[in-house]
Structure formats: C-alpha cells, structure tokens
Structure 1
C-alpha cells in the first residue's frame, strides 16, 4: 500500500478543509495517509524566563512520517513550507507544495490546479528539486543549547533591531572579522529571495553551492554582502551585552548570550520539492518579484540617423 502525508496550516480553514478532502480521496484510492498540522515544525521563541529551548532536529518528525512515504502534500503559504521542510527533511520525503496563502514563492501549484497535480504525483510524473538547508546551533562551550534546520536564513540581532551590534565572525579556516551593524543574515540560495534580498543581498539561483553573509544596515562603507562556498562552516561570536536574539526562517529562535556562539553549516539533510514541470527559477522571479519585466517605454525599434 503506497503511503502519503498531508501537512496543513491549521489556522487557515481552507487548508484544513482541503486536507480532509484530500485524505478521503487518497484513502479511497488505496493509499495509507498520515495527516499533521504544520505547527509541529514551527520552532517557537524562547522568553527571558526560559532562554534555552532545545529540540533535536530529528525530534520534529511527526508520527507516521518516515522514509517509506512517497510524498507529502503541503497546504499553506511560504511559512507552512518552511515549517514542513523541518518536519520531513530528515526522512527525505519530497513535498508537493500547494499555495493557500499570499506570495507563495516556495509553492509549486494552486488549489484550483490540485486535482491535476495529485494525478501527476500519484503517477510518479514529476521531478524532484533539492534545496540546500543549514544546520543552526547555539553552543555554550561544547554543549548544544538550541538547534534547528534552516531553509531560508538565520538572523542575529539585538533588541530592539535598530540598536547597533558588534559581531566577530569566522568563516571556515579564515581569520575572524568584526562587523558593526544592526544585525547579520546568513542565507542559503533559497533564502536569497527573502530577508537577504530586502537587506541588499544578491539573488542566487538554487543550485549554486554557496552561502551568503549579509550585514543589516552596516555602520561601514566597506561592509557588504559576502558570498562563500557552502562547504565552509560559520562561527558567530556576539560581542554585545547582555544578549542578542537569533531568528531562524522568521518563525522561531532563541537568545544568544555573550558566552554563547552561533554555529552554522550546510546540513546533511535537504528539502526535496516536487516539480510538476521543469524548474524555471527566472519565471518564478518574474511572476512573484517582477524581475526582468520589459520596460513600458522600451522602443520596438531603433532608428539609425
């Protein structure tokens, strides 16, 4: 009996309704179906009274989700996709992402196209695109206080965000550098179209094996985005007192104290996306962000005097 999963955003009634309908459809077709809400992949935030909240990366996988599962249908927006990737990446489960939100930059299809998408998925008529993820850890000495998988970016900043921070950052075997800024972003290629883009970082196509470090509002004309191989681990040491705040993928994080360090490296796990047609990243950039659209005033021809 083939096995499938459904992950839905439980705060959106339409996603919950479609999840029930889809489970009935798959069950009637002879599939074993596991259903879970995406909240299990939302990391949550620590608070001043509880600054440490350590959940192991592999501990987020929902019951019933395993490597035998052919695919998981994700119903929601980009935030749901980010949460779902943490739930299923350790098992290598491909995700068919269905947009019930707004931007839907990470989603593959829409609700009105779901019947055709399910036909293709059930018939194995698709490609799989792998996206690199980061393992993010907060360590005190050699003890892991907090860890998470990250598909988009890790952001480290002070409370409030507009306060200047100082960071010592060591990339791979290179000497540590000092950066003064409102915060820093470490982004994957997938995250290059998210917060990193807004902070002035470059857009990176998904298959390029790099990471990027982007200072947020740096207090220097020399501090700019840095692109480096994703084989290089990163250590970030906070200089500020009393603490900084780390946020992963915009939906969870923890406090980072002066004795802590943030360690990042490319994860052994990757996010696997079902593509119903050949991936076309530039098309998504054009449709979602308006990149490369023709200028209205562009002349049809050039007259040579």
Structure 2
C-alpha cells in the first residue's frame, strides 16, 4: 500500500506600513482571507528593512544584509504582499531579497512608483496571484559597503541609489571615483549619486540624470551641483565595481535608498557592486515602463495646442 501524499500548505507573507491605519487594517483583512483559503501567513512591518541612521556620536547603525529577513519568511514562501508606499517597498526588498520572494506591491501611499496595484483592485489581484496569472520582473540591486582600515564597517542592499553628500554648513566636497579598471576621476560637487536603473526616476532624475529603462544592465554616476561644466552624468556597465574615496577633511553623510545612512570619515572607502540578489516584482500584466512614466511623471504626454491668437481692435 502506497503512503498517502502529505498535503503541502502554501505560504505567503505580508509586509505593511504600520504607521498607516489603512495598511494595518488591510493587512489583517488580507491575512484572514488567505487563511480562509488554506494558506499559512506570516506578517511583518516594513520597519525591519530600515537600517537606521547614524549620528556623530554613534557613527554606525548596521544590520548585515542577510540578517534582515522577518521570522517565517524563507525560500518556501510563494509570495509576499507589500502594503504601503515606495518607502515600504524599498524596505521589503531588503527583507526578502536573500530568499528571492516575489512581491505583490499594493499602493497605500502617495506616488507609488514601485507599486503594482491599488487597494480597490486587491481582490482581483489576489485571485490572479493565487492562480499564478502573473509575470515576474527582476530589478537589479547594489551591495553598498563602507570599508575602514581594511575592515567591513557597514553594508546595505540598494534598489534605488547610494548618495554621499556634504554636511550642512560645510564646503564643497571632492571625490575620487574608480570605476572598474578605468583611471580614477576627480569630482568636485555637493555630493555624488550612484544609481540603478530603478533609481533613475528618483533622486538621480532630480539631479539631472537620464531615465534608464529597468532592463538595461547599467549604473549611472550623477554629481550633485558639480563645480565644473564638464562633470555630468555618466552611464556605465553594471559589471563594473565602483569605489569612492572622499578627499575631504570633514566627515560626509551617506544615504542608501533614502532610509539608511552612515557617516563617512576622510579615510573611509565606499565600495559598490551589483548584488547577487535581485528585487522580484509580481506584474499582473506585461511590464510597461513608458506607461508608468506617463502616469506618474507626465513623461511623453501630447502637447496641448496654444489657443489661436485673436487680433485686438
């Protein structure tokens, strides 16, 4: 007699912004709905993916990349729903990246550039995900490390950008930047941005960098308020590692994805390279980046004709 096969209970996760009441309420409703359909559900807040800011008296606030996953989140998880805005999505990517968990992102924030659907579309989206009617879009991430005296001091996963900038009330900064085996370059500016294609529509865009479609395997370097007309955005292959040497006598501030930071001392090195982990987003239809640019940023909208001039008497 053959043994009866053991039924495998599907597992899902929910990561939500616990500051927003609507996200908290929807997370509980979603949990109950999944449990009623036979799913095992684990819940976590997005706070666990925020690595924290340092301060001058405590210059390092650091959790290793592989130690951010919430309890119960592992490679057996079919998907995780994310309830929040772009900040919650960025945090969730750090929390699940080592296990390659696909993310269904639901916008409860404002811009929601990284989110896939809205609350009023969640019932249909959930049915589509459970029935596996979706595609996976992978986005490149960066590993950012701070090296001090040949030792790893700080590290973080980055989906959007790494920024090093001067402290308020200090003078312009100088950076020596090495990209792969190319000759180092010197940049004088208020700061410097290393951006992924996903981050090309964030801080990098505000600083004058180009928009890069998500599937292009490149990074870009964008100086912030450079002191030279020759210092402009540079796009290069993402197989090239980047090392930044701050040529300054004063400490600088580094921020990753807007929600993790570390002080950079004069002798520190900041090293970046493409991470072996990727952010995996559930897409309920074919990814259409130009439509997203049009809806969220107004890019490519048709020009409105000017009214016909009228001759005055």
**1:103-252 paired onto structure 2 within 5 Å:** 103-160=111-168, 163-252=171-260
> Runs (4+) of structure 1 moved beyond 3 Å?
none
**Structure 1 residue 291 and structure 2 residue 302: aligned?**
no
SS in 2 for 1:270: strand
* In structure 2, distance between residues paired with 1:124 and 1:67: 17
* Count of aligned pairs: 299
TM-score w.r.t. the length of structure 1 is 0.96
SS in 2 for 1:227: strand
Gaps of 5+ in 2: 1-8, 308-313
For 1:35, the equivalent position in structure 2 comes to 43
Show CA shifts across 1:55-105 (max 9, x none): 110000111000000000000000000000000011100000000000000
TM-score w.r.t. the length of structure 2 is 0.94
**1:69-88 paired onto structure 2 within 5 Å:** 69-88=77-96
**What is the CA distance between 1:163 and its match in structure 2?**
3.5
**What is the CA distance between 1:48 and its match in structure 2?**
1.1
The alignment's C-alpha RMSD in Å is 1.1
Show CA shifts across 1:172-197 (max 9, x none): 00111110000000000000000000
Show CA shifts across 1:132-186 (max 9, x none): 0000000013211100000000000110187410000000001111100000000
SS in 2 for 1:17: helix
Show CA shifts across 1:110-137 (max 9, x none): 0000000000011111000000000000
**Structure 1 residue 272 and structure 2 residue 274: aligned?**
no
Gaps of 5+ in 1: 300-305
* In structure 2, distance between residues paired with 1:161 and 1:17: 43
For 1:282, the equivalent position in structure 2 comes to 290
Q: Find the structure with the greater CA-based Rg.
A: 2
**What is the CA distance between 1:49 and its match in structure 2?**
1.2
For 1:302, the equivalent position in structure 2 comes to none
**Structure 1 residue 64 and structure 2 residue 76: aligned?**
no
